[in-house]
Structure 1
Amino acid sequence: MRMKYIIVIIIIIMNLTILNADEYRIVDSRNGKTLTLQQMAKGLEKYDIIFFGEFHDNATLHQLERELVPLLDTKRELILSLEMFERDVQSDLDAYIEGWLSEDEFLAKSRPWSNYQDDYRPLIEYAKQKKLTVIAANIPRSIAGKMARTGPDFTETLAEEDKKWLPDKIDYPDDSYKKAFLATLEDMHSPMMNNNPDWLYQAQCLKDETMAESIVNALKMKPKARVLHFNGDFHSRNFSGTVSRVQSILPNKKIAVISPSYSENWQTANLTAEEKKSGTYIIYLPNQGGEQ
């Protein structure tokens, strides 16, 4: 058992390799100043809820996530929250963190994303080592998929067992968030556009609503804790999506958003007006495209 613990520590240390300075640039959106990761972490200490928006396929962002977690794991209790795990596996996630499930059992039960091993395992292993609370924040993908295929009346076909994972309410605002979502689908030439675009947007809102409720419920249980939530950039960019829903329920909580941005001139670029609004901190990355 002790040897297994030592191996876990070695793996975590290996995954916390320092990034080369030329792979990214962090900018404070309020003043345009370039910051180190440590300086950003220091600035984040005054926030109650932090949204880290990622491009799911970008290795640099995943490395930054791994390096940021211990920097925020200070005197104030830290809760990790992930889009990448779904509500119905919360008990399995808890059991693994507490050591009641083996890793093989946990992975067999929890439906990890295909990039779990490289990108999210280090976060879970750190939480396991430090016994941090981790939130499986998202709606089960089977439920969101059913909504995307059949529309808002999908609940009529859900089994009673599945209904308990739904958030208490779901709103589908006809606003700039919807406009941006539909435009993104068109730009990506997504095959999902073969479905009703409004239903796809409503499924997106279902995810936002569920993740927001999961975060809020965690803070109701531990109101003095800080939540660090990881999600695809679109869910939190411009303080919309999941962020706006949390803000509406917890207006007195201080919320920060970290948003990435690809740029050809990422080393020297000044923030655009759009980027200034997209987050509290912007992470510039070499222009290479990426999924959100």
Structure 2
Amino acid sequence: MKNVFCIMALVATLLTPACGGNALGLWDVTAKRTITLDEGAGVLVQADLVYLGESHDVAAHHAAQLAIIAAMAKVKPDLAVGIEMFPHHDQDVLDAWVGGSLDEGALRAAFARNWGMAFELYRDIFVFCRERRIPMVALNAPREIVRQVARGGFASLTPEQIGELPPVACVVDPAYEAFLRRMFGGHHHGHASSFAHFCEAQVVWDTAMAYYAVHFLAERPNTVMAVLCGQIHAWRPAMPSRAESLAPGIRQLIVLPRAMGTVDENTVTPQDADYLILGLE
């Protein structure tokens, strides 16, 4: 219980403006107005999938994710948290953690093996889910397969490797390619084949995560899943587009951390996302 009190104290701190600071809030991209986190939570829980984009190494983004998850949990008991940080074949690790049979040392080892980023950035979210018995869902494809596609294209995969993926097609449509060019600009300006392979890798990545999220929700139709993933996957043309293809009509809302000049009130449209997180500065 001590962990719960510490975490809820952290959440309360995030929701309360400090002297000279800002409380977390949300910018409604369509309505062009600011709403409180509690107001936003009431809207978010009406979706099936809620994407909480992040920059993986920014602690404030993870603290905001926790605050949003906690606000959603207050009004929607049937909540799950899907995470990019674990491949689907390690779902048993997350089940054991949430169920209480896996200690933190073993979780840290699995996290380091799968992700490599500092566990401390995510720890409070993991502890909150364990204490509240909120299911955590491993969404990712095997990293080595995604990396191979990025190097040699989808055609380079063996039948055995393809068997490790969900039954998804690797189709890069013009809209998705244009989205990736917009996101990455000149970072992938080499050979055309290199960029094509990069696009295929992103498609495999986004589609696999969408598949596992949609599959989980199909078995728990009253559940809302908060998806923790890198910002590039959370934008509407990425994972949400793949989820819509797999489950037409699925209700999705996209929440991105605000960054002045790149992801802000003047640059993001409803074709990109639904809400921006304010108060991260």
Q: Could you state the TM-score of these two structures normalised by the residue count of structure 2?
A: 0.85
Displacement of 1:99: 1.8
Displacement of 1:116: 4.2
Q: In 2, are the aligned partners of 1:264 and 1:286 still within 8 Å (CA)?
A: no
1:277 match: secondary structure: coil
1: CA distance between counterparts of 2:275 and 2:119?
Answer: 27
Question: What residue in structure 1 maps to residue 99 of structure 2?
Answer: 98
Question: What residue in structure 2 maps to residue 283 of structure 1?
Answer: 277
2:50 match: secondary structure: strand
Residues 1:16 and 2:11 aligned together: yes
2: CA distance between counterparts of 1:91 and 1:265?
Answer: 38
Instruction: Give the root-mean-square deviation of aligned CA atoms.
Output: 2.8
Q: In 1, are the aligned partners of 2:30 and 2:269 still within 8 Å (CA)?
A: no
Q: Could you state the TM-score of these two structures normalised by the residue count of structure 1?
A: 0.82
Displacement of 1:118: 2.8
Displacement of 1:33: 1.0
Residues 1:250 and 2:247 aligned together: yes
**Structure 1 counterpart of 2:134, which letter?**
L
1:184 match: secondary structure: helix
Q: How many residues align?
A: 274
2: CA distance between counterparts of 1:53 and 1:126?
Answer: 19
| 1:225 maps to which of 217, 223, 226 | 223
1: CA distance between counterparts of 2:98 and 2:280?
Answer: 35
Residues 1:142 and 2:141 aligned together: no
**Structure 2 counterpart of 1:175, which letter?**
P
2: CA distance between counterparts of 1:154 and 1:39?
Answer: 48
CA offsets 1:34-58 (integer angstroms, 9 cap, x no match): 1121221122132121111222233
Q: How does 1:1-292 map to 2 (within 5 A)?
A: 6-13=1-8, 15-19=10-14, 20=17, 21-22=21-22, 26-73=26-73, 74-110=75-111, 111-156=113-158, 160=160, 162-187=161-186, 189=187, 196-237=194-235, 239-263=236-260, 271-272=265-266, 274-284=268-278
Q: In 2, are the aligned partners of 1:87 and 1:165 still within 8 Å (CA)?
A: no
1:80 match: secondary structure: strand
Gaps (5+ residues) in structure 2?
Answer: none
Identity %: 23
1: CA distance between counterparts of 2:192 and 2:119?
Answer: 32
1: CA distance between counterparts of 2:185 and 2:106?
Answer: 40
1: CA distance between counterparts of 2:190 and 2:10?
Answer: 35
CA offsets 1:96-145 (integer angstroms, 9 cap, x no match): 21122222122223425344433222111111111111111011111111
2: CA distance between counterparts of 1:87 and 1:208?
Answer: 13
| Residue 194 to residue 13, structure 1, CA distance change in 2 (3 Å) | farther
Per mean C-alpha deviation after superposition, the further-off stretch among 247-256 and 212-221 is 247-256
CA offsets 1:53-106 (integer angstroms, 9 cap, x no match): 222233322111111112111344001101111112111111121122222122
2:30 match: secondary structure: coil
2: CA distance between counterparts of 1:118 and 1:192?
Answer: 36
Displacement of 1:163: 4.3
1:16 match: secondary structure: helix
| Residue 191 to residue 18, structure 1, CA distance change in 2 (3 Å) | farther
Displacement of 1:10: 4.6
